[in-house]
Amino acid sequence: MAILKLENGTLHTDLNEIAQELAPLKIEINRWSVADNPELKELLVQDSLNDEQKEQVLKGVDIYFEQLKQTAGYQARDLVVLHPGIPNLNELMAKFQQIHTHADDEVRYIIDGEGIFGFVLPDDSQVELTVQPEEYINVPAGTEHWFYLTSIKRVKAVRYFTTTEGWTPEYTGRKIRIGQPVLVG
């Protein structure tokens, strides 16, 4: 269940209310069911996955990739698997824990674990959205945001790409006023 925290401390858990709060940024958020496949569910509970297992997971949820290819021109997808056992996880995550933008949309489908996206709204207020399993989010290009893991320190997320060239973070220098990134490790 997605949780949106406003800068004033207000929490929203209703997906329609969350979508309404994020509408000025044109952020899309949806619930997408993970297939009720025992083999897929067995893979999702593992911390680490090899390349073959990642591909098996991706094929298990490719119905959504096929839809995105048809409706929005997406060309590629991959699976990011983060967990506490990854060496240098702090350093890996640090570059996402500062406010930044991308030249392309950032599109994620969380299939296991959870993470927090923070956003700067047009009125300069800040919000944080906890995304959890079976939640899809599309952060439009140019949106000021940041990302960090929650205290469970694990996430499996499908990333969808129209191109991979716009993924370099462009840091804005703006300070985060809401929440505190959880240091991993």
Residues making up the annotated binding site for Ni(2+) are 100, 102, 106, 145
Counting the structural domains of the chain, the total is: 1
Q: What is the pLDDT of residues 48-78, one digit of tens each?
A: 999 999 999 999 999 999 999 999 999 999 9
Between residues 183 and 97, the one the model is more confident about: 97
Which CATH number is 7's domain given? Answer: 2.60.120.10
Q: What is the pLDDT of residues 100-129, one digit of tens each?
A: 999 999 999 999 999 999 999 999 999 999
Residue 98 lies in a domain: yes
Domain that includes residue 42, residue range: 3-166
- Return the axis-axis angle of helices 51-60 and 62-72, rounded to nearest 10°: 70
Residue 138 lies in a domain: yes
Residue 40 lies in a domain: yes
Q: 182 pLDDT band (50/70/90 cuts)?
A: very low
Residues making up the annotated binding site are 100, 102, 106, 145
Residues making up the annotated binding site for Fe(2+) are 100, 102, 106, 145
The alpha carbon torsion through 5, 8, 14, 15 (nearest 10 deg) reads -60
Residue 146 lies in a domain: yes
Residue 35 has pLDDT above 90, yes or no: no
